[in-house]
Structure 1
Amino acid sequence: MLKKYMYFGLVLLGISSGAMAHSLYPNMTPHEIPQAKLTSSELPNVLISDNAFVYQPHFRPFDIGSFLADTQPSWQTRKESLKHWAGATGVDPRVLLTTLMVIHPKQIPTANEIKAVANQLSQYFYYYDSRKSLTQKNYNAATLALAQQLPTLSDWHDWQRQYEQWFGPIIPTQEAKQKVKPAAPALALAPSLADANSALGIIQWPWMQGYSWMPNGPHSNTGSGYPLSSIDVSYNWPDWGEPTYSVTAAHDGYVTVMSRCQVRVTNPSGWATNYYHMDWIQVEDGQWVTRDTELGIYANQRSTALCEGGSSTGPHLHFSLLYQGRFQSLQGVQLGPYQIQVGRYNYDSDCRYSWLYDTRNRRKVCLYQSVDNPPL
């Protein structure tokens, strides 16, 4: 049965103004670096591959705790913050650590600095990954994201030296040899939705089968920019302190606990889902879970939901889709019997542009309406 946790004796109320959810960091449009500056800096076409830039905790595991204990003991108090923001933004912790060291070489980064650098790297990456810039076509998205983030372009030398000192040589990839920007693995192309369904079966909604919750408008992993990879769901969009409910795995996979309030489930096929603003996490790193396994609940206290900072207007689950470490657009993705139409921009809830399509009766369902999660 659905687990209901009653806090402070409160009872369930109607939908609150908290339904807009959150924005992790303000949207940024990079001022693209002129080609002449890129050329004169001798920045490599591929400083690091896009595959090594994104966080794939199951396929490319990294023990942050052991690394800090052995290499940067003064940073150990930032262990959870580093892992949390790597997970929330999709930036590999090795990339995040190296960038922080170049930017803050003589001080321990604050939690806010970790959050800011991770979010900026992520937004720069997806900005360049989605563009076909004629002047910068020879550079991959990860390299341009790092170039945009470093204090000066010439600091790429320090970045490369620091990364290789800590993690070994940056091995040239086919991507680097070709010196061209790789195509983004669009969900509808590589792999296809049919491939995803074959690998995962139908992805269910991230709450217990047999119950109905309310989703809001699709948005990016940070709440601004693209791709529109995430959707927020809540049983009834309550206020802080009111009851919250069980979150379950949307598909089979291996668990990575990113922090006290964040979990990822990765399927061997490369598909993964992220669960953020959690509490009472019931699973452990490396645990295999099946679809509908309880992961925990979504937090009803703001300080718990935002265990490493951020913003949120009320209790909800922030649910994201990834493939091989990259956040993927939810356009056309099916959760249970519902296909998603993402709309024009983050949190678009105008039913003319953003909706759910119920494949059982071929009807359009507007967002912020109650939708069911039937047994599959």
Structure 2
Amino acid sequence: MSSIIRNNKFIAGLAILLVLVSTKSFHTIASNKVANDKQIQDSAAETLTNAISKSDLVYSYDEMFNFDIEKYLEKNAPHLAAHSEAISHYAGRSSISPKIIIALIEYQTGLVRKNNGDLKLPFGNLSKEADFNGQVADIADRLSRAFYDGHSFHDTGLNAKRTGDEDARRAIQTIIASGKKTNTLNANAGNETQSFNSVFRQLFPETKLKSNEKEGGAVEVVPADNFLQLPYPVGKSWTYGGSHTNTGSGSYPQSSLDFNNGGRWGDNLTGIWVTSSASGRVVRHSSCFLEVVHSGGWSTTYYHLSGIRVNHGSTVSRDTRLANYASNRNQALCDGGSSSGPHLHFSLKRNGQFYHLNNVSLSGFKVHTGRNSYDGNCNYFWLEKNNSYYCAWEWINNPGVDGDTEPTIWPMENGQVRNNISGNQGVKYYYKIDVPADASNLQIAASGGSGDADMYVKLGALPTTSNYDCRPWKNNNNETCSFETPDSGSWYAMLHAYESFSGLSLKTTYSGGGGGYKVENISISQGNWKRYWIEVPEGMKTLTVKTTANNGDADLYVKKTSYPDKDNWDCRPYDGDSNEVCTFNNPESRRWYIGIYGYEAVDGLTMEAEWKP
């Protein structure tokens, strides 16, 4: 009996044990399910947090002014710094954020954080192009086309592009799906788009910018009829071609027009000026490509330029001379591309996105866009003003804009005098002089004639009677504003007729204005490079770059658009020692790039750059 009891106890205990084990297993399974659900939720939350948005993809105006591509690369990827202008150029041309471009390089080939691949192919097999510039251009243009895909003026009847975050994500997915990753660090990633999102947030962890434009808005928005003028001087006549997309292919958005005032490759076109369509702030994307950011979220772009005469970040008024269109094919296409001849490629953007030109007015000429890019059929594409119609390739005189509230600003040069200025009581005249770095003794002087004109002077903006840096306040026309150590930049003068006046002369002068950059005790081993850059201000007559050393053989290279190499340079003396000189007359106001190559090893070398007005 005791044996039976013991056996029954054993059986009962075994049953209890099985129940406990089963219960524990149930809790374990349930616990694992909860954990898995939480992981899925966390993963989804992380994906949503990291997901690329429209404001990440579109090159915003804030980013244009506050994200320095070259400085970022010099700090984080110095081996790519020589390509900063190419990235800047194609980011501006496509309106795709340079951060997206840089992150795609890192995602695909890992070339941002490690210099371990082919620098000529930063996107690997995502692009079929065979060099750095070609691949950047290809990827940026394809991203732009994918972003706008499916948004047709004919479908929506609206200029406002109803793009959103999903369009941005689709654009990224389209590019990523076009090739197999060559970056082994990312080769095993399960979700490629999610992997790119993570790479982007690692490189650029800062808070995302909010879009200035509400998504999905159905309200037709165009600039006021008197907001934009034609992009060439008032009073001049140019011809124009059919409206087209920024890339020249497809039908939407037709944001661009080509303008021309004659000339062939090799001609002297320095007398043909491209001017700003409205007042705004300058973005200098490259030596051949500018953008001016206006009020109301609008901006205009100007491509195929040479001789740019405005600085990045400077403020311009409507009809300000910006540059010439280039007479040299290489300059017109300073970072690649194609062009059939000298001309201006002009585009309109809003909140960073290319904007369909239908019903947009330029100097009062309202655009009616064609069926597709470059549609020259006057039944479909024309300009209209005062019930008159103008077809492609007609010559159009620029009358300016009706009811223009922007004042004319007369440019002044160092030592220039404007004579016989006259005006009735209350009239205001405006003048501007660009003062280079290191200039001294700036003087703006009014003198002579009769009556009483009061002078007001201000740095960086038009002065008013209540906002100025200098106001002599004399009882006649003889007034002078002097600044012993003026800041560089645009100085503005206003003549206000306190009483009617006539016969007045205005003169602007400054001293010096040159500058330089010097590096000593440079050592370069055979076959290696040292690279530098300088900023040359406006108004310089000469730029001289030289190297000196009493040993070895260092070769000097200078280039104005990007860092030089053995095949690409603007000056290469190629002497038999380390003492070499490059001299440029009337150098462009821009960043110049210097490379020194160790043909033989050299020690104690000095590099000196000097610019003089």
Contact 1:45 1:139 in 2 (8 A): no
Counterparts in 2 of 1:326 and 1:346: CA distance versus 1, 3 Å: same
1:210 equivalent to 2:235? Answer: yes
Instruction: Please give the alpha-carbon distance, in whole angstroms, between the structure 2 residues aligned to 1:95 and 1:370.
Output: 41
1:278 counterpart (286, 305, 311): 305
Q: Distance in 2 between the 1:306 and 1:92 partners?
A: 21
Distance 1:144 1:45, change over 3 A: farther
In structure 2, the residue corresponding to 1:140 is in which secondary structure?
helix
Matched residue, 1:375: 400
Deviations, residues 25-46 of structure 1 (Å, cap 9, x unaligned): xxxxxxxxxxxxxxxx987598
More strand by share: 2
Q: Distance in 1 between matches of 2:334 and 2:325?
A: 12
Q: Deviations over 1:117-147 (max 9, x none)?
A: 1111111111145599xxxx99611000001
Q: Which residue of 2 aligns with 1:116?
A: 138
Q: Which runs of 5+ in 1 are unaligned?
A: 1-40, 176-180
Q: 5 Å matches for 1:234-313?
A: 234-236=260-262, 238-244=263-269, 245-313=272-340
Which has the bigger relative contact order, CA under 8 A and spacing at least 6?
A: 1
Q: How does 1:25-40 map to 2 (within 5 A)?
A: none
Tell me, what secondary structure is at the counterpart of 2:296? coil
- Matches of residues 290-369 of structure 1 in structure 2 within 5 Å? 290-359=317-386, 362-369=387-394
**Secondary structure at 2:239's aligned position in 1?**
strand
* Aligned residue number for residue 31 of structure 1: none
Distance 2:207 2:170 in 1: 16
Q: Name the amino acid aligned to 1:340.
A: V
Identify the match of residue 56 of structure 1 among 38, 47, 60: 60
Q: Which residue of 1 aligns with 2:174?
A: 148
Unmatched 5+ stretches in structure 2: 1-42, 112-116, 123-131, 156-162, 181-189, 402-613
One-letter amino acid of the counterpart of residue 291, structure 1: R
Classify 1:259/1:267 alpha carbon distance in 2 versus 1 (closer, same or farther; 3 Å).
same
Structure with max Cα Rg = 2
- Residue 235 of structure 1 aligns with an amino acid whose one-letter code is N
> 1:375 Cα shift?
3.4
Greater Cα offset, 44-53 or 67-76: 44-53
Query: Structure 2-normalised TM-score?
Result: 0.49
Task: Give the partner amino acid of 1:111.
Answer: N
Partner letter of residue 296 of structure 2? S
Separation of aligned partners in 2, 1:367 and 1:304: 26
Aligned to 2:282, the other structure's residue is in SS state strand
Query: What is the distance in 2 between the residues matched to 1:210 and 1:50?
Result: 41
Tell me the amino acid that sits aligned with residue 85 of structure 1: Y
Q: CA deviation at 1:162?
A: 1.6
Question: Which residue of the other structure, out of 200, 222, 235, is the alignment partner of 1:163?
Answer: 200
Structure 2 counterpart of 1:23: none
Matched, 1:101 2:106: yes
TM-score (norm 1): 0.78
Identity of aligned residues (%): 32
Q: Is the alpha carbon distance of 1:172 and 1:302 closer, same or farther for their aligned partners in structure 2, counting shifts above 3 Å?
A: closer
**Relative to 1, partners in 2 of residues 1:335 and 1:308: Cα closer, same or farther, differing over 3 Å?**
same
Bigger Cα displacement from structure 2, 163-172 vs 333-342: 163-172
> What is the CA-CA distance between 1:306 and the residue it aligns to?
0.1
**CA 1:155–1:251: 2 relative to 1, 3 Å:** same
- 1:48-73 C-alpha deviation (Å, 9 max, x unpaired): 22122111234653100110011111
Contact kept? 2:303, 2:345, Cα under 8 Å:
yes
Q: Aligned with 1:291: secondary structure? A: coil
Q: Which has the higher helix share?
A: 1
Contact 2:57 2:97 in 1 (8 A): yes
Q: Higher mean Cα deviation, 201-210 or 156-165?
A: 156-165
Give the letter for the 1:89 counterpart. Answer: S
Runs of 4 or more consecutive aligned structure 1 residues displaced over 3 Å after TM superposition? 41-46, 57-60, 128-132, 169-175
Equivalent AA in structure 2 for residue 343 of structure 1: G
Q: Offset of 1:171 from its aligned partner?
A: 4.5
Sort the Cα spacing of 1:172 and 1:231 in 2 relative to 1 into closer, same or farther, 3 A. Answer: closer
Task: Report if the CA contact (8 A) 1:49-1:173 is conserved.
Answer: no
Instruction: Provide the C-alpha distance between the structure 1 equivalents of 2:364 and 2:48, rounded to a whole number of angstroms.
Output: 46
8 A Cα contact 1:45 1:138, kept in partner: no
Check conservation: 2:55, 2:211, Cα contact below 8 A. no
The letter for the 2-side match of 1:100 is I
Give me the whole-angstrom Cα distance separating, in 2, the residues matched to 1:105 and 1:242: 44
C-alpha contact 1:100 1:117 (8 A) present in aligned 2:
no
How much has 1:268 moved relative to structure 2?
Answer: 3.1
Question: 1:316/1:105 Cα in 2 relative to 1: closer, same or farther (>3 Å)?
Answer: same
CA-CA distance at 1:173 after TM superposition = 6.6
Aligned to 2:604: none
Q: Residues 306 and 332 of structure 2 are in contact (CA less than 8 Å); yes or no, is this contact kept in structure 1?
A: yes
Aligned 8 A contact 1:45 1:140 in 2: no
- Residue 337 of structure 1, CA deviation: 2.1
Amino acid at match of 2:258: D
Partner of 1:22: none
Partner of 2:77: 72
Q: Distance in 1 between matches of 2:169 and 2:323?
A: 37
Go from structure 1 to structure 2 and tell me whether the alpha carbon gap of 1:375 and 1:116 turns closer, same or farther (over 3 Å shift): closer
- Structure 2 CA distance for aligned equivalents of residues 169 and 247 of structure 1: 37
Q: How many residues align?
A: 316
Three-state SS of the structure 1 residue aligned to 2:342 is coil
Partner-residue secondary structure (3-state), 2:87: helix
Task: State how far apart, in whole Å, the 2-side matches of 1:115 and 1:97 are.
Answer: 13
Question: Given that residues 54 and 211 in structure 2 are in contact (C-alpha distance below 8 angstroms), is that contact kept between their aligned partners in structure 1?
Answer: no
User: How much has 1:202 moved relative to structure 2?
Assistant: 2.6
